[in-house]
Amino acid sequence: MTETETLSTTTSSFRIAHISDTHVSPEYNRHNVAKLKNLLAYIVDEQFDHIAITGDITGNGEDGGYRSVRRLLKYFDLLQYDKLSVTIGNHDIFGGVHRAEDLFNFGSRCRTRDYDAQVRLFERSFKETFPNKAYAGESIFPYVKIVGPVALIGINSISRFHAMWNPVGSNGRIADAQIEEVERMLLHPSIAALKKVVLIHHHFNKYRPFSNSLGTSLYQKFEAQTLKLYGKDRVEQVFRKCGVDAVLHGHTHIEGIYSRSGIMFSSASLNRVRDGADVDDPVAKSQLGFNEISVSSEGTIMVSKRRVIVQPKGTSSRALDKKIYR
């Protein structure tokens, strides 16, 4: 089953599957391994040209989460430069709240987390997918890689801890040096004729989740204050100046496609927030979602929202784990 929202109507020749917020954690989110396995199986079977994952790949930024994801990607032969591109999310650095007691110590964990070490762990975990940089010792971000008719630009939007404006690690800010390098990359003559697609974790639209519950609604209003991208107007201005065609992100767990100043935005999540249309729909609850970005042979971009039922009934995540990792 597929639900599609298109922003143009030409036949595509190069297709990217955009997924995000997979939150794989052997300790806390084992069910996400099963969900991701089934979604990847569908995408591979549909012969997409490339897969983009825009952050929060792990649930807690731990070695075990990265090992689980690597084994899963190897199972589908996806740990390759021309098949997969990734960018980092706040869970990949700071982790998340999984137990009641985490509510009381999470701020302290964010404050003491070694930000640079977590970024290096992320980069090592997906090293096969990144371009080589001429200078050692620095972060791979931002990066640019050319795959087919597309230049993919990966950005790290995760802020360092700050007691006032980033106390739980989920707000974003892109350092000036990174923005300047992104601009140089986007304006380089070698990618002038290509479609420019940005991979970033943080969103650019307003965070507007749906809820029937007053308590949940109030919590979501509070949560919105911890899901910001500071300085996003400047970042968006650079994207417009440099002719970015599409921006792929996650973070909000709200699926969607929207446009700002002529740029198409794709928001995806393996663990999506249910909206008003499907919050009580049993069929919708069994679906997994991703977005499709396609480039036609004429060079036109199309963005589509896809929902598919690929979860085998009666199959436990443990059984699937054994099948993958035996």
Tell me, rounded to whole angstroms, the distance of Cα 218 from its chain centroid.
26
pLDDT of residue 68: 95
Query: Does residue 313 surpass a pLDDT of 60?
Result: no
Q: How many residues does the structure list for the chain?
A: 326
pLDDT score, position 4:
40
Confidence of residue 8 (pLDDT cuts 50, 70, 90): very low
Q: What does the DSSP assignment read for 259-325?
A: EETTEEEEE--SSPPP-TTTTT-HHHHT-EEEEEEEEETTS-EEEEEEEE----TT--HHHHHHHHH
pTM, entire model:
0.88
Q: What are the pLDDT digits (tens) for 147-196?
A: 999 999 999 999 999 999 999 999 999 999 999 999 999 999 999 999 99
Query: DSSP string of 214-256?
Result: HHHHHHHHHHHTTS-EETHHHHHHHHHHTT--EEEE-SS---E
Cα distances (Å, whole numbers) of residue 182 to 122, 187, 194, 207: 20, 9, 16, 25
Give residue for tokens 């499907």: 278
Task: Report d(CA 275, CA 273) in Å as an integer.
Answer: 6
Amino acid present at 175: A
In angstroms, the CA 41 to CA 306 distance is 15
DSSP state of 113: S
The token pair that represents 43 in the structure block: 């995408």
State the architecture of 12-325 in CATH terms. 4-Layer Sandwich (3.60)
Nearest to 224 by CA among 248, 254, 186: 254
d(CA 135, CA 129) in angstroms, rounded, equals 17
Q: Residue 152 phi/psi, 5° resolution?
A: -100, 125
Structure tokens that stand for 183 in this block: 């601009």
Give the whole-angstrom CA distance, residue 66 versus residue 59.
10
Separation CA 317–CA 307 (nearest Å)? 20
Instruction: Give the pLDDT band (50/70/90) at residue 107.
Output: confident
- Residue ranges per structural domain of the chain: 12-325
Q: Is 210 exposed, middle or buried (0-12, 13-18, 19+ CB in 10 A)?
A: middle
Structure tokens that stand for 93 in this block: 């650095």
Q: Would you say residue 319 has pLDDT above 70?
A: no
Alpha carbon distance 227, 100 (integer Å): 21
Q: What percent of the chain has pLDDT over 90?
A: 67
pLDDT in tens, 43-101: 999 999 999 999 999 999 999 999 999 999 999 999 999 999 999 999 999 998 876 66
* Phi, psi angles (nearest 5°) of residue 266: -115, 120
User: How many Cβ atoms sit within 10 Å of the Cβ of residue 66?
Assistant: 19
Region 263-275: what's the mean pLDDT? 87
